[in-house]
């Protein structure tokens, strides 16, 4: 789903953003329209330092008058103090959690209006999963629009204003997190193993 929105794989249907179709656009063209993407694969530049990885994300906002929050190095280092400590370290030696933080920060440096985060807790230790949840809450508090794709329901429900469940490539549930909690049939059919 995220890769389709970002123009990395072909899909069926149409995705629009600010009234414009994203269908058929390349990833860089989607990015130019103010959508950032944090892939599940944590695509960092391993031989560059943490700070150099952040520099690669720098760009001006797609829509200069957007109300989306603006981000700079200091914001990243305040949100993730561990990255400040390791800013001169090659990114390839960071832990999985630190690499996830770096990927998120590099995307934020691109000044997106919407950030799509694909499975941010995949493969992380439980303590790091909890930290990622806290960072996602900070993004929300700062006014960032986030499309979170996450299998760990607790984290997703804690930070979401709206819940969508997809099954077989289509939306099978849409509502508030509380309405999903209160709907045992939807949870049983689509979310339980």
What's the pTM? 0.86
Cβ atoms 177, 160 nearer than 8 A? yes
Amino acid 11: pLDDT: 81
Confirm if 118 and 40 have CB atoms less than 8 A apart: yes
Q: Give the whole-angstrom CA distance, residue 68 versus residue 108.
A: 11
User: Domain 2-160, CATH 3.50.50.60 — does that match?
Assistant: no
Angle between helices 126-141 and 96-108 (to 10 degrees): 20
Beta partners for residue 115, in sequence order? 36, 146
3 state DSSP class of 151: coil
Distance in angstroms between the alpha carbons of the first and the last residue of the chain: 21
pLDDT at position 68, please? 77
What is the C-alpha separation between 31 and 191, in angstroms, rounded? 31
- Is residue 81 within 8 A of residue 134, CB to CB? The reply is no
The ranges of the chain annotated as CATH 3.40.50.300 are 2-160
pLDDT in tens, the chain (193 residues): 788 889 898 888 888 999 999 999 999 999 999 999 999 887 899 999 999 999 999 887 777 777 777 889 999 999 889 999 999 999 999 988 889 889 999 999 999 999 999 988 888 888 888 888 888 888 888 888 999 998 888 888 888 999 998 888 788 899 999 998 898 888 788 777 5
Q: How far apart are CA 44 and CA 56, in angstroms?
A: 10
């Amino acid at each position: 789903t995220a890769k389709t929105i970002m123009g990395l794989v072909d899909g069926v249907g149409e995705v629009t953003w600010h009234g414009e179709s994203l269908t058929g656009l390349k990833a860089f063209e989607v990015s130019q329209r103010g959508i950032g993407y944090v892939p599940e694969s944590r695509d960092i530049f391993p031989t560059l330092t943490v700070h150099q990885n952040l520099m690669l994300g720098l760009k001006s906002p797609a829509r200069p008058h957007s109300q989306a929050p603006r981000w700079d190095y200091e914001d990243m280092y305040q949100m993730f103090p561990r990255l400040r400590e390791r800013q001169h370290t090659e990114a390839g030696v960071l832990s999985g959690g630190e690499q996830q933080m770096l990927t998120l920060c590099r995307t934020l440096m691109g000044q997106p209006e919407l950030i799509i985060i694909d499975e941010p807790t995949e493969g992380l230790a439980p303590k790091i999963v909890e930290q990622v949840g806290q960072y996602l809450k900070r993004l929300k508090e700062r006014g960032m629009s986030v499309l979170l794709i996450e299998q760990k329901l607790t984290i997703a429900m804690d930070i979401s204003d709206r819940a969508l469940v997809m099954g077989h490539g289509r939306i099978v549930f849409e509502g508030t997190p509380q309405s999903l909690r209160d709907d045992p049939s939807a949870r049983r059919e689509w979310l339980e193993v």
